[in-house]
Amino acid sequence: MLDPIAEARRRLGLARRFYDEGRAGDAVAVAETALAVVEQAGGPNHPAIAGACVELSLLHERLSQFQKAEKYARRSIVITEEYSRNDETLVRLRVKALGCLALVERVYNRFGAAEVLYRSALDLAENGTWPQPQELAELMCGLGAVYLFSSRFGEAETLYREALTLVGADHPGAAVVWHHMAELDLMLSRFITGESYARRALALRERQYGEYHPTVANARAMLAAVLARQGNLEMSEKLYRKAISTFERVLPEHHYDLAVACADFGMLMAAKGNMAAAGRLAQRALDIKRRILGRNHPEVIQAIEDLAQYN
């Protein structure tokens, strides 16, 4: 009979494969069965439970189910706190759990808490012998995003460039860094370099995932946003339509990335004089953000203000 912990690991690997294939619902279902297996085999605080919780947190975050992502991340943090810091497998799990919770805190605009969590994760990771450059780069980009949305642009850019040096400019893992650098340059109106960074992120993600993957669609939406600000409205519209079509096909109906794309596409439609389309897109963005972020979130308030401009 297969060892229960080994069986749980097999199921978590299957869940990751399902997500990469665009089968997000199946991925969550399989990951939940993995958690049930280790809970039954090892008790409530077995370290393997922390691993299953991390995977479930990541999956729920990718599906914009942030409350569930937070629940699983916190459970993993509590479990890994109980075990020796000399066990690098558990330290690695703790780093991932801290990163998961930091991302949720960032989404909810709790930037102080997010910064503390990201720094804790980086401190643990940098003291270990196990981290892959891509893992560190993703944590650095997460902290950089906290700085970005706190208007600490210089600190964000420094982290992004350090992350790029760490992972290598042409490595598939560099896509996340190029994406964040494009977002920074978009916010700072540096559109020439922003376009270059967005194109590099899109090329790397297409090479890794193919044409119809939510990560690829997200990269298309970023490039569309940069091109729109440069006045290339026709190409931007094509990219937005393709990105939104992909999101609708592979993501849940209420997803953060879809809301962002709809809001930005609405601004483009308004710039082209199609106020009716702009209003429909803005309403859709508002409905999604209100559902997943709550009525009092700053992005929901901004979405209400955006919609008012088109009516």
How many domains does the chain contain in total?
A: 2
- Mean pLDDT across the stretch 107-128? 92
Residue 159 lies in a domain: no
Residue 164 lies in a domain: no
- The three-state secondary structure class of 311 is coil
Residue 285 lies in a domain: yes
* pLDDT digits 0-9 by tens, 14-48: 998 888 777 888 999 999 999 999 998 877 788 88
Residue 1 lies in a domain: yes
* pLDDT digits 0-9 by tens, 162-221: 999 999 999 999 999 999 999 999 999 999 999 999 999 999 999 998 888 899 999 999
- CATH code of 270's domain: 1.25.40
Scored b (16 or more CB within 10 A) or e, 160-172 reads: beebbebbeeeee
- CATH code of 38's domain: 1.25.40.10
* pLDDT digits 0-9 by tens, 49-60: 999 999 999 999
Residue 78 lies in a domain: yes
Residue 227 lies in a domain: no
pLDDT of residue 90: 84
Residue 43 lies in a domain: yes
Radius of gyration of the chain (CA): 20
pTM of the model: 0.91
DSSP codes, 196-238: HHHHHHHHHHHHHH-SS-HHHHHHHHHHHHHHHHTT-HHHHHH
Is the pLDDT reported for residue 115 higher than 60? yes
Residue 259 lies in a domain: yes
Percent of residues, the chain, with pLDDT higher than 70: 97
Residue 34's domain comprises 1-131
Domain boundary among 79, 96, 131: 131
Cβ proximity of 292 and 274 under 8 Å: no
Nearest 5°: CA angle at 80, between 108 and 292? Answer: 20
Q: Which residue has the tokens 């980009």?
A: 141
- Residue 5: which pLDDT band, with cuts at 50, 70 and 90? confident
- Residue 128: which pLDDT band, with cuts at 50, 70 and 90? low
pLDDT of residue 126: 81
- Mean pLDDT across the stretch 125-130? 72
Domain boundary among 108, 131, 154: 131
- Mean pLDDT across the stretch 288-304? 96
Domain boundary among 99, 131, 163: 131
